[in-house]
Amino acid sequence: MRFLLLTLALAMGQAIANPALEGEWMLQIDATGAPLSGLLQLERDGEEWRAFVEGGPAPVTVDENTVVVDIDSRDLRGFVFIIRLKGELQDDRLQGTFTIHSDAQIRMAPSTWSASRYEKIPRSSEPDPVDISGIWTPAPGIDIRKYSMDLTPAAEEWHAGYLMHYDQPNVRCISPGITAMVAWGGYPFEILDSAGRLTFLYEVDSEVRRIFLDGREAPEFYPGSGMGFSTGRWEGRDLVIQTSHLEPNVRDFRGEPVSENARLEEIYSLSDDGQTLSAVITLYDPDNYKRPPIRRRAWTRNPDTDIYPYECDPDSFFRQMYNEGKLEMYFERSRRRN
């Protein structure tokens, strides 16, 4: 009977998608300058296929062993573009080529990509701390910078009215919070190591963050803030940081919301030569996201870099609102800002 149905489907010109495509894959995109990596999830719901990249939805077409995935991404200049992956399954590995689709001039030439089955590598339960102190500058590549995420209906409704120039916190010199800052790629930061604590000094917004390693919990009635309350533990050579007590904010420049119930997890790994620090950053916020958004970053140890004061003049923002006659409109939108 199954053979008969398969024969009938082929006779009608309907391609049968290979079920082996389903599952979690670790992407590597051979982009100009440095490879980009990310988690690709391919799922089948009946006859319908769905794809998610780093937790965000990505339109997908599946035809037998061939898959085409469109990933919306954002470059450092703020331009949004589409990375179109086209490839096929060969020996339990996806591989193919990608092209860039954008109205803007994106500095990323078409090239190749591949993906292997994602396997979560267990970390050691025995702490083996490594020295991550020092000044770190952003390394190129690493992150696909997936633009849109899998929002809940409530988050979609909130986000539908978002206006970046008026509602984005940092345009008026308000901290965007650690969820956004830790994934930004343009600023250095410094790590200070002291007994039972690491202190992160960020150039952006001149923010100071303390990560407690002594097992303490947040004090009673600890208020929410942009930096939240962070605790860390060593799992082998990996530093795992959990941050809670965040105030409502936005995840990134697109303005997707972060709730006060959100939890941020960061896993930092040091390269064998001690010169590269990489991180996988996951936001757990079921109030706003059906799937946790993921970011990946890397930094290079650079003792010759200086951390400069971060200058920001909020008056320039409000002067512009006043000169354009938009102050009343801005104040009427106050419910969208915390």
Note the maximum CA span of the chain.
74
238 and 213, same structural domain? yes
Q: What is the enclosing helix (H) or strand (E) of 8?
A: helix 2-11
Is there a domain that residue 23 lies in? yes
State how many domains the chain has.
2
297 and 160, same structural domain? yes
The predicted pLDDT at position 161 comes to 85
Please give the residue range of the domain that contains residue 144: 134-301
Is there a domain that residue 319 lies in? no
pTM as predicted: 0.91
Q: How far, rounded to the nearest angstrom, does the alpha carbon of residue 282 sit from its chain's CA centroid?
A: 7
74 and 12, same structural domain? yes
Number of helices and strands (H, E) in the chain?
A: 6, 21
CA distances from 228 to 133, 134, 187 (A): 21, 23, 20
Q: What is the pLDDT along the chain (338 residues), one digit of tens a residue?
A: 443 333 434 333 345 678 889 999 999 999 877 889 999 999 998 889 999 999 999 999 999 999 999 999 988 777 899 999 999 999 999 999 999 999 888 878 889 999 999 998 888 889 999 999 999 999 987 889 999 999 999 999 999 988 888 888 888 888 889 999 888 777 999 999 999 999 999 999 999 999 999 999 999 999 999 999 999 999 999 999 999 999 999 998 888 999 999 999 999 999 999 999 999 999 999 999 999 999 999 999 999 999 999 999 999 999 999 999 999 999 888 877 76
230 and 152, same structural domain? yes
